Structure 1
Amino acid sequence: MWKIFSTKSLNICLVSLCRVKQLKKAELVLIDGIKLGILPDVVTYNTLIAGYCRLLGIDTGYSIIGRMKEAGIHPDIITYNTLLSSACRSRLVSRCLDLFEEMLEEGIFPDIRSYNILMHCFLKSGKPDEAYNVFKDIFLKEITPSPGTYNIMINGLCKNGYVDNALRLLRTLQRNGFTPGVVTYNILIDGLSKSRKHRRARGLLKEMLEAGQSPNAITYTSVMKSCFKNGMLEEGLEIFSEMQKKGYTFDGFAYCTVTGALLKGGKVKEANECIGNMFKVGIDLDMVCFNTLVNIYCKEGKFEDALKLLGEAEERGLQCDDYTHSILIDGLCKVGCIKLAQKYLKNMKMLGLETNLVAMNSFIDGVCKHGHIDHALQVFESMKVKDAFTYSSIVRGLCRAERYKLAAKLLHSCVTKGAQILRSDKKAVMRGLRYSGSLAEAKKFQKNIRLAKILYY
């Protein structure tokens, strides 16, 4: 019966098991296969290496090479590219370089994928100069680059803040016969948009159309978001309308982006119509989309609209989560509705939701800013978990109330617990102690903070 099985069948089984994260079962299948006389090949071990790298990390994946050699099977380029990809995901530049060196020692010459991975690793690690050296090395070694090679380099430059360099690289490549596709244009348009270079992004979109490339939804969305960020509401809405005319489908996030821009532009009626259109076209909004819209309404101070929207979410069978309540608490505190914000804090406990640190920090910050420092201190003392922002809110509140000595004491206790403090908070306390005439207290505070940092950091 087992004679119908082959190494290929074994490899298919291993691929399936690795995809569903069943590495132990994959090992058992391999052992059973060997017992039945089905010998593994390089593909078998490469499959295991990919599974171990993805689930347990590069060290575990690399250990399989020893087993390969014991079985008389030599690693190939796919083996090392898999390991390089794993090292790249963890931004292990030195490990990538070691693997390159090992490949050459084994007589395995890196291919374009190997160079692409190394280049990508340098760019992810914030080393564009080293990545560019790899890029040049590809041409010096007369290896034919792929479109992905150019896109990785251009995308990496944009992500590292070198958008102008990325655009210059594109022009150089075009002069040497490279024809950019939609992906390349999208990368640059997105990079220019995020760098607030709106006109150049629009110019690149025009160039794209003139070159006969068809922009997709990603292209238009990038330009549209850029318009909204630069206060060009009408122009952004024109692009949105153009997308609708061309029949592009929108997800909830796209509609939320447009709704947010309309609200910021004071067009509440149009924003509500946009939300209505979402429901009409049958977009199935999840709680993340509702939270995004609620956050937009709260920032604009439109709490009634936010609560109506939450009612709509509940009618659709969605449950408000701790993030929803955090948004409402933050918005209410900013406009001084402290009692209502406290009510939502209590509701979180009643509903069995976790009162998260973001909600508590927002509440303390709001209470302090509206002068209820003693109330804020009570809430602060009741908190089991605190971070630098918790301490910052209460310290700033105490400084506004000119209670500098207590602020100094709290900051010192923060450091003794091994937590980081904001430099601006330390300066505010020092300034307050000096201006209030407590020069000795200021010197003592500075000395205690320095000593605590040495002992506890």
Structure 2
Amino acid sequence: MIRRLSTKLLNVCVSSLCKSRNLDKAEAVIIDGIRLGCLPDVVTYNTLIDAYCHLVGVDEAYVILYRMREAGVRPDVITYNSLIAGATRCCLPSRSLDLFEEMLQAGLVPDDWSYNTLMHCLFKCGYPEDAYKIYLDMLSKNVAPSLTTYNTLINGMCKTGNAMNGLRLFRNLKRLGFSAELVTYNTIINGLCKSGRIGEARRILKELGESDCVPNEITYTTVMKCCFRNGRFEQGFEIFSGMMNKGYTSDVFAYCAAISALIKMGNLEDANACVEQMLRNGIGLDKACYNTIIYLQCKEGKIDYAFQLVNEMEEAGLGSDQYTYSILIDGLCRMGYIDSANKQLHMMEMRGFLSNLVAYNCLIDGLCKLGEVDLALKLFHEMKSKDDYTYTSIVNGLCQKSRFHAASKLLLNCLKEGSSVLTSTHRAVIAGLQSAGFRRDAKRLKASLRVASLLRY
């Protein structure tokens, strides 16, 4: 009895140390316990394995299996479930399958958690068909699926682009008396939204409102953001209004989505009103929210207030990120303050933000609109990576200066690199060459564009 209590105390100590991420001390406690005659059991080792999987890695956790066997402690299903979960976190599907097979060979019977974790791993790593085979294997072994099993299947189908299959499974389960939880509804709504099936998502949202489950902020925000992304602003604002009427007035993500949509629509007055309402509700601003409000101020030409907000964000301990700098650079360029925009770009680079394609694009576009095409070209050649927007801006800038041969050459280089520019830009270059008397060059460019179009499709 004393020994059993001592082992229980040992396990409590090891668990506490693992939770506080002190693995060395946990190991030391186990060694001291053995020295004092308090032998660790399977719970001790399982606790240690789970901690190693979370904090170090599945390989280091697997080494503990050898120590277990040397101590005469037989691994159980929980041991292997922890290892499979560790392999899942590292996106190692083959390792998860090997561990599952090893568990079977050891004579251990997998439980629903074993199957759920393995299915989640295969879905997560892009193997939906293999994941579904595991589910069928689970049924053939008479392991009863749990609510987590069905949520794993629906979530996996939605995240691998099979939202309609997830919806069909959801419908079938409901007909069989499956009592869906809120997390299930949120999963299927999110999957339908990401696949662009807004109508289906709104129907599920209506069903959710008629069920025993109560929609939360995540539910409403998911559908609302989907409506905004697809240009269905009226529907999106209906959902936002319904969300506010139900008392969900503290969701910063919903406010940010609504403010961004209003800015996109050009309705800056209502965007400002939405900001004021959000602040009145006492919502603490995060970095994304600050960036949204800074963008709004830049759109209104209130660049001084935008910088004031940046300082406020810095003082609140929320450091500026690459989006903050890109917004400021875009705002400065729109107002013609190119030197200030350039300084912000250099400051951005000094702070280690290397992924600044958007910032470069804003500066190039600003220079071209001011007629400083040579400066834009210099910046263009300094860029390590370019996208369609970069090429479109610089080609349009050259056309505005009637430098149609240079624009044509750049357009052909763009095609060789696999990028593309707007069709209107193609027409501008061709029309410019023709009007300048270079009809043969215009004809050659037209043929090259046609061939590139055929190769792409």
CA apart distance, 1:14: 1.7
Question: CA-to-partner distance for each residue in 1:133-165, whole Å, 9 max, x for gaps?
Answer: 112222222111111111111111111111111
Cα deviation code 1:36-70 (max 9, x no counterpart): 22111111111111121112211111111001100
CA 390–236 in structure 1, closer or farther in 2 if over 3 Å, else same: closer
2:384 counterpart (346, 363, 387): 387
Query: 8 Å contact 1:367–1:373 — kept in the other structure?
Result: no
Question: C-alpha distance in 2, partners of 1:342/1:36?
Answer: 68
Show CA shifts across 1:239-265 (max 9, x none): 222222222242322211111122223
Q: Tell me if structure 1 keeps the 8 A contact 2:6–2:38.
A: yes
- C-alpha separation in 2, matches of 1:117 and 1:288: 33
Correspondences of 1:359-438 after superposition (within 5 Å):
361-362=360-361, 365-366=364-365, 369-370=368-369, 372-376=372-376, 378-379=378-379, 387-389=384-386, 393=390, 397=394, 402-403=405-406, 422-424=417-419
Deviates more, 1:125-134 or 1:242-251: 242-251
User: Aligned equivalents of 2:264 and 2:25: distance in 1?
Assistant: 55
Alignment partner, residue 93 of structure 1: 93
1:297, distance to aligned residue in structure 2 (A): 5.4
Question: Which residue is 1:107 aligned to?
Answer: 107
Counterpart residue number, 2:139: 139
SS of the residue 1:424 aligns to: coil
Once the 2 structures are TM-superposed, how far is the Cα of residue 16 of structure 1 from its aligned partner?
A: 2.0
Distance in 2, matches of 1:245 and 1:394, equals: 46
CA apart distance, 1:356: 3.9
The answer to whether the aligner puts 1:314 opposite 2:285 as a matched pair is no
> Residue 77 of structure 1 aligns with which residue?
77
1:423 aligned partner, one-letter code: G
Q: 1:204 to 1:393 in 2, by over 3 A?
A: closer
**Paired residue type of 1:273:** A
Distance 1:398 1:206, change over 3 A: closer
- SS of 2:137's equivalent in the other structure is helix
Paired residue for 2:39? 39
Q: Distance between the aligned counterparts of 1:202 and 1:144, measured in 2?
A: 32
Measured at CA, do residues 357 and 147 of structure 1 come closer, stay the same or move farther in structure 2, by a change above 3 Å?
closer
Q: Distance in 2 between matches of 1:270 and 1:398?
A: 36
Provide the rounded CA distance (Å) in 2 between the counterparts of 1:172 and 1:404: 58
Q: Secondary structure at the match of 1:389?
A: coil
What's the CA shift for 1:275?
A: 0.6
CA distance in 2, matches of 1:436, 1:21: 68
Aligned residue among 294, 300, 303 for 1:302: 300
2:239 corresponds to which letter in structure 1? I
- Which amino acid in structure 2 is aligned with residue 280 of structure 1? R
Q: How does 1:252-263 map to 2 (within 5 A)?
A: 252-263=252-263
1:23, CA displacement in angstroms? 1.6
Q: For residues 104-183 of structure 1, what are the structure 2 equivalents within 5 Å?
A: 104-183=104-183
1:228 Cα offset (Å) = 2.1
The offset of 1:80, in angstroms, is 0.2
Contact 1:395 1:407 in 2 (8 A): no
Deviation at 1:403, TM superposition (A): 4.8
- 1:217-257 residue CA offsets vs partner (Å, 9 max, x unmatched): 21122222223223333332232222222222423222111
Judge conservation of contact 1:368–1:394 (CA < 8 Å) in 2. no
| Number of the residue aligned with 1:454 | none
Please say which of residues 5-14 and 126-135 is displaced more in the overlay.
5-14
Give 3-state SS (helix, strand or coil) of 1:8's partner: helix
Question: Match for 1:212: what amino acid?
Answer: D
Cα offset, 1:122, TM superposition = 1.1
CA distance in 1, matches of 2:395, 2:279: 47
Q: TM-score, normalised by structure 2?
A: 0.79
**Contact 1:154–1:188 (8 Å) recurs in 2:** yes
Spell out the pairing of 1:183-198 with structure 2 (5 A cutoff).
Answer: 183-198=183-198
Per-residue deviation, residues 191-210 of structure 1 (Å, max 9, x unmatched): 11222222211111222223
Which amino acid is the alignment partner of residue 321 of structure 1? S
Greater shift, 153-162 or 265-274, is seen at 265-274
Distance 1:22 1:122 in 2: 31
- Shift in CA distance, 407/32, structure 1 to aligned 2, threshold 3 Å: farther
2:277 aligned with 1:282: no
Q: Which amino acid in 1 is paired with 2:342?
A: Q
One-letter code aligned to 1:338 = I
Equivalent residue for 1:451?
none
Fraction of identical pairs, as percent: 44
Change (3 A) 1:36 1:222: same
Judged with a 3 Å threshold, the aligned counterparts in structure 2 of structure 1 residues 355 and 218 are, in CA distance, closer, same or farther, namely closer
2:338, 2:363 within 8 Å by CA — same for their partners in 1? no
Counterpart residue identity of residue 130, structure 2: E
Matched pairs, number: 417
Contact 1:364-1:393 within 8 A present in 2 as well: no
1:449 aligned partner: none
Structure 1 gaps, min length 5: 412-420, 443-457
Q: Which residue of 1 aligns with 2:455?
A: none
CA RMSD of aligned residues (A): 3.7
**Kept in 1: contact 2:268–2:296 (CA 8 A):** no
